[in-house]
Amino acid sequence: MAAEIIDGKQVAADMRAELKEKVAKLKDETGLIPGLAVVLVGEDPASKSYVTAKERACADIGIFSDDNRLGADTTQEVLMALVEKLNNDDRIHGILVQLPLPSHLDESQVLLAIDPDKDVDGFHPVNVGKMVVGEEAFLPCTPHGVIQLLLKSKVKIEGAEVVIVGRSNIVGKPLANMLIQKNPTGNATVTVCHTRTKNLAEHVKRADIVIAAAGRPNTVTADMIKDGAVVIDVGVNRVEDASKKRGYRLVGDADFDAIKEKASLITPVPGGVGPMTITMLLYNTVVSATRSAASRTAE
């Protein structure tokens, strides 16, 4: 029997509708409008497209979007000054510096300069540390989106054997930490595989939940998947396709067509994890604004 498709677009749309209501309520009750500052340095087409999508999403749910676009030759000093300005701006509750930055800029220094209370990407070491020890923190958006897809699809995480293929700081490592936490969205047994893993198929075959986040097409194939497993594909890869007007198509890290005949649930690419990433960014921004409003009331 073919797998049920997890519709990330619909899950994201439902969550954004809930966030829109929360934003309206926050504005009515406190007069506060959540604000997200986006910083884009340079002209990278993928980054520009992504930032535009984020700004559109902000407008859709009523979040104030502060657009900061800088030239590719921007100096470290200018960028750091902008981050400091946004840290001190009461209208801004979330700061997103779009990565990657041009090679002459120090990404680590920039991320470290962001106020942890406005780090809605969840990349600041303070938030990463809190996440690891199980304290309340802004969670990285893509891993958090994966968790939400599992929850909304009623997948049992507790006690599940989970295999994550990929160990990046953006997806693999934080997702593993989130899934092993002693809380209702964790309690899984997690194996993290990577490019140096021996006998990848043996590990993946044990999994109740497989999360493909390696950044390479067809890393996870149907022969690796046990019958009835849940497959979450985080990868987004361009492969040449002369039949397409743009000359390529997007595929994930898992062999979707073959795996869907064995899995119980699977995410498509595109339309699976992707829409959730921006949604969780909006979610973190609204949480930050709500905390700000509560703090202001307490004063």
Q: Which ranges of the chain would DSSP assign to H, the alpha helix?
A: 8-30, 45-61, 76-87, 107-113, 125-133, 141-152, 172-180, 200-205, 256-259, 274-298
How crowded is residue 134: how many other Cβ atoms within 10 Å of its Cβ?
Answer: 14
Best CA proximity match to 16, nearest among 5, 27, 6, 8: 8
**C-alpha span between 170 and 145 (Å, rounded):** 12
Pairing of strands 94-97, 248-251: unpaired
> For residue 270, is the peptide bond before it cis, meaning its omega torsion is within 30 degrees of 0?
yes
Q: Judge contact between 171 and 142, C-beta under 8 A.
A: yes
Active-site residue identified among 7, 98, 255, 260: 98
- Secondary structure letter of residue 253 according to DSSP: S
121 is catalytic: yes
98 included as an active-site residue: yes
User: Exactly one of 117, 119, 121, 208 is catalytic; which is it?
Assistant: 121
154 is catalytic: no
Comparing CA positions, the residue from 215, 297, 206, 222 lying closest to residue 255 is: 222
Active site residues: 54, 98, 121
